[in-house]
Copies of this chain bind each other. A is one copy, B any other.
């Protein structure tokens, strides 16, 4: 471990603990209901420590969205759904991968930024923008595969790769809402299955 890496690790440890606490709490209760005091208690830091790392609660919200982007992008980059040679297969494998993640307690598979942007889109443009970047940035990682699938299987009028990529995110986010309303993950998985069927029909038809 290099000098720098150790520095970073130590420097980040409290900050990271606060961010991890934020992810847990915001996913469970939302942004507004999550209090600074609570995060401090979970992370084992005092108020002074919190406001040393984040100049405001809003800044924590933005940082949490960025941290979330980082964590999830790491997860998806290393995921096995990139393996198939066929681009359409890769897109469908992505949906299967997302579907497989929808398991267990609701707060553990739902999306931080989707939850946060619902409350903050009007009150904090900084948080809104961070959530937009997270969602759209992730959607963008799908575009190349969708584009390649269009090259191979043909295009449908009015359907762009970007629009379809964002639609996948809409379906997943909507599935999370229904799962929260229902109190279980099944309905979200079913919506993912509909999405997979849509994409299959779109290309194989």
Report the Cα distance A191→B168, complex, angstroms: 9
A119 and B174 contacting across the interface, CB-CB below 8 Å: no
B181 and A170 contacting across the interface, CB-CB below 8 Å: no
Interface string of A174-205 (1 = CB under 8 A from B): 11011011110001101101100110011001
Main secondary structure of the interface of A (DSSP, over half): helix
Q: How many copies does the complex hold?
A: 2
Residue of B31, B175, B183 near A132 (CB, 8 A) is B183
Q: Does A6 contact B (CB under 8 A)?
A: no
- Chain B residues with CB under 8 Å of A182's CB are 132, 136
Residues of A within 8 A of B (CB): 28-33, 106-107, 113-115, 117-123, 128, 131-132, 135-136, 156, 158-159, 163-164, 166-167, 169-175, 177-178, 180-183, 187-188, 190-191, 193-194, 197-198, 201-202, 205
